[in-house]
């Protein structure tokens, strides 16, 4: 993947649809059933890996949400805020906190998941369950990662690495996963269609 010279991708604050909340909540429930160390950081990194893996494999977003370029890697800002509270609000119907660990408060429901989604979820869960949160941080912002590419493209990499900047409103551009124009266009068309359908539900 090549770094483009400049890429302005400010975060757009858009309410999640009920379908997105259900999918995020049930994803975390699923993760909690397979991991006893499901911390905030681990959740945030796995959510990104799910989005990246689904787009890379199926050209289809897993959640269809923004991931901002922050110091410790890509972060879904609104989920970070919810998980940082004493108890989740946005995801209160799905998860609760026990110390620093998150647990499900209901059974996993796969209504929002396609067969491809379940395959990606199983694959990423198997990969991540043996990793610590710090290991996932390193994986999601190593030298070949989308975080690294997008941070450099937006001229914030040096500031983030020097810890002079904690967060930005720039978002990860998942289209950079594709080197060929055909795959990139197909992904963008699918993402636009999903966003159109979500807007109809808001």
Over residues 172-189, the pLDDT tens digits come to 999 999 999 999 999 999
Please say whether the beta carbons of 128 and 46 come within 8 A.
yes
113, 97, 115: which is closest to 105 by C-alpha?
Answer: 97
Rounded Cα gap, residues 199 and 69, in angstroms: 24
Contact between 189 and 59 (Cβ < 8 Å): no
Q: How far apart are the first and last CA of the chain?
A: 35
pLDDT digit string (tens) for 102-116?
Answer: 999 999 999 999 999
Which pTM does this prediction carry? Answer: 0.91
């Amino acid at each position: 993947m090549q770094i483009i010279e400049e890429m302005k991708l400010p975060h757009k604050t858009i309410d999640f649809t009920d379908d997105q909340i259900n999918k995020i909540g049930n994803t975390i429930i699923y993760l909690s059933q397979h991991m006893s160390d499901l911390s905030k950081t681990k959740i945030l990194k796995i959510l990104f890996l799910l989005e990246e893996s689904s787009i890379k494999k199926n050209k289809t977003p897993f959640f269809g949400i923004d991931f901002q370029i922050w110091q410790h890697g890509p972060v879904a800002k609104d989920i970070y805020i919810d998980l940082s509270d004493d108890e989740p609000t946005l995801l209160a119907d799905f998860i609760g906190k026990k110390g620093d660990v998150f647990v499900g408060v209901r059974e996993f429901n796969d209504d929002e998941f396609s067969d491809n989604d379940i395959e990606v979820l199983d694959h990423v869960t198997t990969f991540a369950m043996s990793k610590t949160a710090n290991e996932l941080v390193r994986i999601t912002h190593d030298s070949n990662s989308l975080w690294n590419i997008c941070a450099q493209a937006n001229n914030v990499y040096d500031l983030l690495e020097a810890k002079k900047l904690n967060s930005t409103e720039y978002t990860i551009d998942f289209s950079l996963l594709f080197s060929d124009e055909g795959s990139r266009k197909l992904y963008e068309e699918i993402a636009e269609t999903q966003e159109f359908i979500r807007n109809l539900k808001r």
